[in-house]
């Protein structure tokens, strides 16, 4: 059993749920959220990131220091909760800086940590609802660096010119929480950012359109500790020219570089994505239910998709066509390599359908050059 990721029923809001069945007493960690649960008995955990109520925090004189998790489980099953933090050693020297908010129907209570380690804040829990880390407002007066990340997503669907969405986020935010209708650009993302500091994005060579536009007075976007569950691009870079190499640079308000990465353009980086996009409608219309089941099995064997993506209640109740849409869109979000595997599997499972779909579309005009970087993204699961 592992972390279960499922889509909510709304077209406009994507809710990610995590589910884990603990086999008995023990200590279990979710490697997606890094939450740790100390269990007293066998039970099923269900949890998700929810929106903070800022008015409650203001009344308590606190500010959110991380995501707020709504946790449900059978009574008395969870004895202790370890909430992950990413504070530096300098920040942890500030006495009383971190505490835990327990939010329930009647309001909010502030829990004093039993212990704070280099990675987690530990509290005892008697009953479950929503829990999240909070700071005293004094945090804003400290010039303490925060571990951050710069995430890049290439948006090519219905977008001319192509666009790179740039997200400046705290290191604790997992990639799966940010994924949108765009393809993740694999590159090293680690950097150091300061809360409240203003940052700007620059490109080499010059001339690409960037939003916010540094030439019209909106020079910078402030970095804040976004808590989710919704994350929106900090910057947008429009690829208005065919470039062999694009360098993206994040600078602070004083002009110092906080992050720089080179991206090499490659037709191959877009080839399979483009091919799958082109055959999407006919793929959905023509593939049989039996063929779809075989395709799902093969993709699971190759670890292109995971069991939890297919086992959610919303997937099981979908029509055949909507299941195919779900599979294709899931694979598209995972990039060019995943698209190649899906086409290989289609060729293996239903070669006649493959011959109908792919050669028919393969003579289309060459795809535009897309940006790709070389790093791999690790696959995650919940483990004990």
Mind listing the pLDDT tens digit for each residue in 29-44?
887 888 999 999 999 9
pLDDT at 217: 46
User: Is 1's pLDDT higher than 60?
Assistant: no
pLDDT of residue 375: 29
Query: Above pLDDT 70, what percent of the chain?
Result: 76
pLDDT at 370 over 50: no
Tell me the mean pLDDT in the region 245-262: 88
How remote is the C-alpha of 281 from its chain's centroid? 27
pLDDT of the residue at 174: 77
pLDDT band at 313 (very low <50, low <70, confident <90, very high): low
| Cβ atoms within 10 Å of 34's Cβ, excluding its own | 16
Positive or negative torsion for Cα 260, 264, 265, 270: negative
Residue, of 368 and 155, whose pLDDT is higher: 155
In this predicted model, which residue has the larger pLDDT, 345 or 195? 345
Query: How does DSSP assign 120-136, residue by residue?
Result: EEEEE-SS-SEEEEEEE
Rounded CA separation 248/264 (Å): 11
Say whether pLDDT at 365 is over 50: no
Neighbouring residues of 181: CB distance < 8 A, sequence distance ≥ 6: 155, 157, 329, 333
Reported as a single tens digit per residue, the pLDDT across 138-179 is 555 555 677 889 998 877 655 556 788 899 998 878 777 786
Domains of the chain in start order, with CATH, are 17-141 (2.60.220), 146-263 (2.60.40.2660), 268-368 (1.10.533.10)
For the segment 227-246, the average pLDDT, to the nearest whole number, is 76
Q: Does pLDDT of 306 surpass 70? A: yes
**Chain centroid, CA 310 distance in Å:** 18
Q: Please, what's the b/e burial string for 293-328 (b: 16 or more CB within 10 A of its CB; e: otherwise)?
A: ebbbebbeeeebbbebbbebeebeeeeeeebbbbbb
**CA distance linking residue 381 with residue 322, whole number of Å:** 26
Average pLDDT over residues 282-290: 93
- Give the residue with greater pLDDT, 138 vs 103: 103
- pLDDT-wise least confident of 168-172, 188-192, 347-351: 168-172
Note the Cα 335 to chain centre separation in Å.
14
pLDDT band at residue 260 using 50, 70 and 90 as cut-offs: very high
Tell me the mean pLDDT in the region 253-268: 74
Strand order from edge to edge, sheet including 245-252: 221-222, 198-204, 245-252, 257-266, 370-372
Q: What does the pLDDT read at residue 329?
A: 87
State the average pLDDT over residues 175-194.
79
Structure confidence at residue 36 (pLDDT) = 93
Q: What is the pLDDT of residue 78?
A: 94
Whole-number mean pLDDT of the chain?
A: 77
Residues 6 or more apart whose CB falls under 8 angstroms from that of 168 comprise: 148, 149, 150, 193, 199, 221, 223, 234, 235, 250
Percent of the chain topping pLDDT 90: 28
Q: Can you state the angle between helices 268-286 and 336-349, rounded to 10 degrees? A: 40
Residue 14 has pLDDT above 80, yes or no: no
pLDDT at residue 67 in the model: 87
Q: Please give the Cα distance from 10 to 7 (Å, whole number).
A: 8
| Whole-angstrom distance, CA of residue 339 vs CA of residue 354 | 14
DSSP 235-287: EEEEE-S--SEEEEEEEETTS-EEEEEEEEEESHHHHHHHHHHHHHHHHHHH-
Residue 294: pLDDT band with limits 50, 70, 90: very high
Q: What is the pLDDT of residue 159?
A: 53
Residue 215: pLDDT above 90? no
Q: What's the pLDDT at 359?
A: 66
Q: Tell me which range, 212-226, 311-325, 329-343, 349-363, is most confidently predicted by mean pLDDT.
A: 329-343
């Amino acid at each position: 059993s592992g972390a279960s990721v499922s889509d909510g029923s709304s077209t406009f809001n994507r809710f990610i749920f995590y589910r884990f069945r603990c086999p008995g007493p023990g200590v279990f960690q979710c490697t997606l959220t890094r939450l740790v649960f100390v269990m007293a008995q066998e039970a099923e955990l269900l949890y998700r990131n929810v929106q903070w109520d800022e008015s409650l925090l203001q009344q308590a004189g606190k500010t959110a220091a991380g995501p707020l998790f709504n946790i449900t489980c059978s009574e008395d099953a969870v004895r202790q909760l370890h909430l992950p933090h990413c504070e530096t050693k300098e920040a942890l020297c500030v006495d009383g800086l971190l505490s835990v908010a327990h939010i329930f129907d009647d309001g909010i209570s502030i829990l004093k940590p039993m212990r704070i380690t280099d990675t987690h804040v530990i509290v005892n829990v008697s009953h479950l609802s929503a829990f999240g880390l909070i700071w005293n407002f004094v945090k804003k007066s400290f010039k303490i660096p925060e571990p951050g990340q710069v995430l890049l997503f290439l948006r090519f669907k219905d977008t001319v010119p192509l666009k790179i969405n740039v997200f400046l986020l705290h290191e604790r935010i997992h990639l799966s929480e940010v994924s949108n209708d765009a393809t993740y650009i694999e590159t090293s993302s680690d950097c150091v950012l300061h809360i409240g500091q203003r940052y700007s994005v620059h490109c080499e060579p010059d001339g690409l359109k960037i939003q916010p536009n540094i030439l019209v007075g909106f020079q910078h976007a402030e970095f804040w500790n976004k808590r989710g569950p919704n994350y929106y691009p900090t910057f947008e870079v429009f690829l208005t020219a065919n470039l062999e190499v694009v360098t993206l640079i994040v600078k602070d308000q004083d002009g110092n570089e906080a992050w720089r990465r080179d991206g090499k353009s490659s037709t191959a980086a877009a080839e399979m994505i483009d091919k799958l996009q082109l055959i999407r409608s006919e793929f959905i219309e023509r593939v049989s239910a039996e063929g779809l089941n075989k395709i799902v099995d093969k993709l699971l064997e190759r670890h292109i998709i995971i069991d939890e993506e297919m086992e959610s209640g919303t997937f099981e109740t979908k029509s055949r066509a909507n299941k195919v849409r779900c599979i294709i869109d899931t694979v598209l979000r995972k990039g060019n390599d995943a698209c190649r595997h899906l086409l290989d599997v289609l060729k293996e499972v239903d070669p006649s359908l493959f011959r109908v779909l792919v050669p028919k579309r393969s003579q289309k005009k060459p795809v535009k050059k897309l940006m790709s970087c070389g790093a791999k993204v690790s696959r995650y699961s919940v483990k004990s």
